[in-house]
Copies of this chain bind each other. A is one copy, B any other.
Amino acid sequence: MSVQAATLESISSSLKSLSIAATSVVSHAASTSPDSWKEAVSSLATGANFQYTKTLLFKPKTAKTAKAYPVLVVAKNDTETNTTALGKEINQKEMRLAAPELLQDFLGATKDDVSPLSVSKANGPEGSHPLLVVLDAFVASSEEQFAFHAASSEKTIFLTGKEVAKYLESTGAKVETIDFSKLASNPAPMPKANAPSASGVSAPGVTQAPVANNNAARARAADAAKNPDAELIGITVRKDGDFPEWYQQVLKKGDMLDYYDVSGCYILKPWSYNVWQAIQTFFDAEIKKLGVENCYFPMFVSSDVLEREKDHIEGFAPEVAWVTRAGSSDLEKPVAIRPTSETVMYPYYAKWIRSHRDLPLKLNQWNSVVRWEFKHPQPFLRTREFLWQEGHTAHLTLEEADKEVKQILKLYQRVYEDLLAVPVVPGVKSEKEKFAGGFYTTTVEGFVPTTGRGIQGGTSHCLGQNFSKMFNITVDDPKATDETRGTPEGKLFVWQNSWGLSTRTIGVMVMVHGDDKGLVMPPRVSQIQTVIVPCGISAKMTPKEKDTILDACEETARSLREAGIRAKADLRENYSTGFKFNDWELRGVPVRLEIGPKDLEKEQVVAVRRDNGEKASMKTKELVHELPKLLDAIHDSMFKKADDIYRAHRKVVTKWDDFTRTLNTKCHVIIPWCEVEACEDAIKDRSARQGSEGEAQDERAPSMGAKSLCIPFDQAQYPDIAGLECPQCGQKAKRWTMFGRSY
């Protein structure tokens, strides 16, 4: 696990959310040691009364198969922190000061800027915290001011002891308060009492702490989420034990992305970017068949243009990033970075579309957009910059626009189902959930079984004439009569669509298919479809015997590549066969081929499926024919498995009493719905309240209500709706509608 470094921005916003007024941050020369820090800060002559602190990361000795569990000690600078005594107190062996790499990996910090405030981001997106923080009791209970590094060795922040304790509690890290003064004088282990401690040891005000037992209880809880199969390089938590942490590890260790030092932005590594390129290749060819052409509009948009369509911009304004400066000059007029391109493009549509012969105009672009969300970011699902395609088309008639909306949505469905093996439900959004400023929105809705939450997979909007009226995109109506020709009545506002699919696809794919061993890649988008691992190589072999095996692996890979299969032979030296198996399982390669001496004799290979672990022998000479079939079979079976689960989690409900109960079993709920907006609000509200009163919910969404996800196109699969009433409000039901908690 690696984390983003805390920034002054992130720290200050965290403190603000805890109502801690941290107005006192000072800048000074960079400090490179405790002494130089003191010198730098004291040279400022702030006149404030405070004490210095120290923050130290320790790495206890762990069994090779166990998870590393670092300990962060936060103490007054002159407190003696005896690690032997501390280790005994918290049941850890041989605590050693952590290497700079570990400090970087776990806290995004260096020895010169680490502080309790480094913990803020350390748990990553919705992750459970891998750290144990030991807080000096002297600090924890104090109303006095202490100095801490503030995200930089050149900045110092002043907080009271109680404030820092409160802050640490808020991070989700496990915090133990330890009275080092007693510890130092009592190096022998404390007797282990069996009676549970009456007071929560980690409450900031508590300074006397019988630690060991409580720690053990915590350890038991953590064990429940732990993945017993995890190797050192593997995923250390179970998917259904700690899903957010699992998601983060699987992306990181599966080599899909890395965290980045600008919050909410992530690095797409080749393993994930290739999935995006596979989607691009498919979708780009398909839309070209529909007559869509690619173009590129600038990423910048002037405020005048951005704000032209009021409903639309209301939806985006709070998230728009503004460039106000170039080099050292302020721009006289700041420019926005597009959050989407409707208002960027449509002034030009007005110019380019002069006659009905210019219709349809069908443009698409592959680009990135920026939405500076302040909600918690989530790799692929909610990021401040993301890659997508956005199509923008203009038509003479609503019928043509309607038709295209559906064609595109079908392509989105094919991306999910045919490429990613992810089932989706196509349908139309409710009025409340449709695109801001549009006419109606169609969507493909995915499902994350582990959390029971829905996820919008891609949307194809009919904008109607709303934007064409705003941007004055008109043509002479070819059906105009002699009377109306040339008059306003003889003009026609064009019908427009817009549609977009983003790298969110990749996140959904990972969440749906991944397992406790890591990623499970759908074969059609996996950069490597089959990896060939030499097996049975022993020290007793002659170099020639060994080369025979290695050559066979390389030759197999070559012949498969020639047959159009993305194959790779893993001939790395210095890595064990077991390590390689784990490594490729983590990355989710669909098929592993094993070739050992006996396989060579029998002219066969052993093929192991990543999705279900099944092994089968294949004749070497049949490989180029059999492997494509196997890859298709894997695709089909991955899809079927996910589809079966999704279907089992879509429950028809006709009574309100069953609504939240069903929701709380991690299901979506299909109800005969009235389609009244106020009713949708009520459903959200009531299901949230009932959720929190009723069964335990997803811990991270304690009061999340259900919203309408879509009105499925396939209404025929449900009973006749005639005569049915909306279970929430009792009004006449119009269509069966899928509700659920969602991302």
| Chain B min CB distance to A486 (Å) | 13
B332/A321 in contact, CB under 8 A = no
Q: Is A328 an interface residue (CB 8 A)?
A: yes
Q: Is A8 an interface residue (CB 8 A)?
A: yes
Residues of B close to A489: CB separation below 8 A: none
B323/A321 in contact, CB under 8 A = yes
Residues of B close to A302: CB separation below 8 A: 7, 261-262
Q: Is A656 an interface residue (CB 8 A)?
A: no
Q: How far is the CA of A104 from the CA of B354 in the complex (A)?
A: 14
Interface residues of A, dominant DSSP: mixed
B261/A347 in contact, CB under 8 A = yes
B387/A333 in contact, CB under 8 A = no
Copies of this chain held together in the complex: 2
Q: Is A265 an interface residue (CB 8 A)?
A: yes
Q: Is A595 an interface residue (CB 8 A)?
A: no
List CB contacts (< 8 Å) of A367-387 with chain B. Answer: 367-368, 370, 372, 374, 384-385, 387
| Chain B min CB distance to A122 (Å) | 16
Interface-side segment among A135-143, A161-169, A291-299: A291-299
B8/A332 in contact, CB under 8 A = yes
Q: Which of B274, B277, B295, B298 contacts A270 (CB 8 A)?
A: B295
Residues of B close to A96: CB separation below 8 A: none
A273/B295 in contact, CB under 8 A = yes
A12, A337, A347, A387 interface centre (most CB from chain B within 10 Å): A337
**Total chain A interface residues with beta-carbon distance under 8 A:** 68
| Chain B min CB distance to A737 (Å) | 32
* Chain B residue at smallest Cβ distance from A337: B323
> A191-231 toward B: CB 8 Å interface, digit per residue (1/0)?
00000000000000000000000000000000000000000
B357/A572 in contact, CB under 8 A = yes
B363/A270 in contact, CB under 8 A = yes
Q: Is A319 an interface residue (CB 8 A)?
A: yes
A323/B323 in contact, CB under 8 A = yes
Q: Is A633 an interface residue (CB 8 A)?
A: no
Q: Is A325 an interface residue (CB 8 A)?
A: yes
A334/B327 in contact, CB under 8 A = no
Residues of B close to A13: CB separation below 8 A: 332
| Contact A372/B262 with A2-B351, A270-B295, A357-B574 known, Cβ cut-off 8 Å | no
B7/A333 in contact, CB under 8 A = yes
| Contact A319/B326 with A273-B295, A293-B270 known, Cβ cut-off 8 Å | yes
Q: How far is the CA of A527 from the CA of B292 in the complex (A)?
A: 13
Between-chain CB contacts (< 8 Å), 29 pairs: A7-B302, A9-B333, A258-B348, A260-B298, A265-B298, A267-B295, A267-B296, A267-B348, A273-B293, A274-B293, A276-B296, A293-B527, A296-B387, A298-B385, A317-B327, A319-B326, A320-B326, A321-B323, A322-B325, A322-B326, A323-B324, A323-B337, A324-B324, A325-B334, A326-B374, A327-B372, A337-B337, A357-B572, A357-B574
Nearest 3 A/B pairs, CB to CB: A270-B293, A9-B332, A326-B372
